[in-house]
């Protein structure tokens, strides 16, 4: 049996998509069970001749079905979930006005659900309005003593749900960051590599915007580990990562994709501009004393994205350029334009 779309993200290696997949599951199931719970009330309120409330509940269920359908077939959150709090608010307030406590009880699950269906700021804003309307309605419908109890209990429910949703969001953010960040160097890891490269290729196809990648590999890194120890090797790796990061622009991204191998993604950068930056990076690494008596050099393979190619083909071309740089003496950069023979743009070094 085919895997439903809202579960499929569980099987991806991208942690961001995994989080999005679980959020879609949450949205899907909350609307499903809310529709299932509210649907019988349409008939109940109609039989009690509360025709307006019955119509409002029907709209609530119709919105839930639309959200489910859009998620299932369009992979899109219908109206970003705004109709749920709006209809829940109107239904709960009006039902409290005509049914008393029987309508009030529905406000509690509605307030809680909103925090898991919308961004936190939007949910807090809509629930603030919700609480204000329910407080006004409770003041007119119930005795004063009950008004205070109702207002306080609804407020505490909203506060606890807000805190829980905020903590869950922070946890998701921190876990995503941990899953996408190399713990040693602080660079991005391979988890989002395919998505990042694919996005740049799409920009190249649609808007003819250039993008280049620079594959970098430390020369003779095994010798450093063997002679000075792995702790010193880690120090060199973190030093190289820090040096590269300090020389890159804010919209550039650096990935650690292997033991001593890094990849620099350079959006909005053609091959000529990228080659200038690449040479500067190679010179900077060669000139940097990472530790007393220890210097390192780095080799690079540079290439620009081509429209209609896959991210793996783009990366393999950079890898071929890196191999040529290694074979040509190291401490240099070789650029390899797509569909063209490689051109050596590097500098000789003491490798």
Q: What is the pLDDT of residues 155-188, one digit of tens each?
A: 999 999 999 999 988 888 888 888 888 889 989 9
Indicate the pairing of strand 211-218 with strand 253-256.
unpaired
pLDDT (tens digit, 9 = 90+) per residue, 181-232? 888 998 998 888 888 998 899 988 888 889 999 999 999 998 888 888 888 8
| pLDDT exceeds cutoff 90 at 304 | yes
Across residues 5-26, what is the average pLDDT? 57
Query: In order of start, what are the domains of the chain with their CATH numbers?
Result: 5-180 (no CATH), 190-344 (3.30.70.270)
Round the average pLDDT of the chain to a whole number and report it.
Answer: 86
| pLDDT exceeds cutoff 70 at 263 | yes
Taking the C-alpha atoms of residue 41 and residue 57, their distance in angstroms, rounded to an integer, is 7
The confidence score (pLDDT) of residue 344 equals 45
Is there a contact between 291 and 235 (Cβ–Cβ < 8 Å)? yes
| Burial bucket for residue 338 (CB in 10 Å: 0-12, 13-18, 19+) | middle
Which pLDDT band holds residue 338 (cuts at 50, 70, 90)?
low
The confidence score (pLDDT) of residue 14 equals 61
The confidence score (pLDDT) of residue 73 equals 85
Across residues 297-315, what is the average pLDDT? 91
- Active site members: 260
Taking the C-alpha atoms of residue 295 and residue 201, their distance in angstroms, rounded to an integer, is 36
The confidence score (pLDDT) of residue 76 equals 80
Instruction: Please give the span between the terminal C-alpha atoms of the chain, in angstroms, as a whole number.
Output: 56
Taking the C-alpha atoms of residue 344 and residue 243, their distance in angstroms, rounded to an integer, is 24
The confidence score (pLDDT) of residue 307 equals 85
Is there a contact between 237 and 170 (Cβ–Cβ < 8 Å)? no
pLDDT (tens digit, 9 = 90+) per residue, 49-68? 999 999 999 999 999 999 99
pTM above 0.85, yes or no: no
């Amino acid at each position: 049996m085919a895997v439903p779309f809202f579960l499929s993200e569980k099987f991806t290696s991208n942690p961001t998509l995994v989080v999005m997949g679980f959020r879609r599951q949450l949205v899907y199931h909350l609307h499903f069970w809310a529709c299932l719970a509210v649907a019988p009330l349409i008939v109940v309120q109609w039989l009690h001749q509360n025709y307006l409330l019955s119509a409002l509940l029907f709209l609530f269920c119709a919105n839930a079905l639309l959200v489910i359908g859009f998620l299932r077939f369009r992979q899109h959150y219908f109206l970003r979930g705004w109709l749920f709090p709006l209809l829940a608010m109107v239904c709960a307030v009006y039902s409290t006005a005509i049914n008393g406590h029987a309508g009030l009880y529905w406000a509690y699950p509605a307030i809680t659900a909103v925090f898991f269906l919308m961004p936190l700021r939007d949910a807090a804003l809509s629930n603030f309005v919700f609480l204000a309307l329910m407080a006004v309605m409770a003041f007119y419908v119930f005795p004063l003593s009950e008004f205070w109890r109702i207002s306080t209990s609804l407020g505490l429910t909203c506060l606890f749900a807000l805190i829980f949703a905020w903590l869950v969001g922070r946890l998701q953010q921190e876990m995503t960051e941990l899953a996408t960040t190399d713990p040693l160097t602080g660079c991005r890891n391979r988890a989002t590599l395919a998505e990042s490269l694919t996005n740049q290729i799409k920009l190249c196809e649609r808007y003819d915007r250039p993008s280049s990648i620079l594959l970098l590999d430390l020369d003779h890194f095994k010798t450093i580990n063997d002679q000075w120890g792995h702790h010193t090797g880690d120090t060199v790796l973190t030093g190289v990562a820090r040096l590269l990061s300090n020389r890159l622009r804010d919209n550039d991204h650096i990935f650690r994709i292997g033991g001593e191998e890094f990849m620099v993604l350079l959006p909005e950068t053609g091959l000529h501009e990228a080659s200038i930056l690449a040479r500067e990076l190679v010179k900077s690494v060669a000139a940097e004393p990472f530790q007393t008596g220890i210097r390192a050099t780095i080799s690079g393979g540079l290439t620009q994205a081509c429209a209609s190619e896959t991210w793996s083909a783009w990366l393999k071309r950079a890898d071929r350029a890196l191999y040529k740089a290694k074979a040509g003496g190291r401490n240099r950069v070789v650029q390899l334009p797509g569909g063209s023979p490689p051109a050596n743009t590097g500098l000789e070094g003491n490798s």
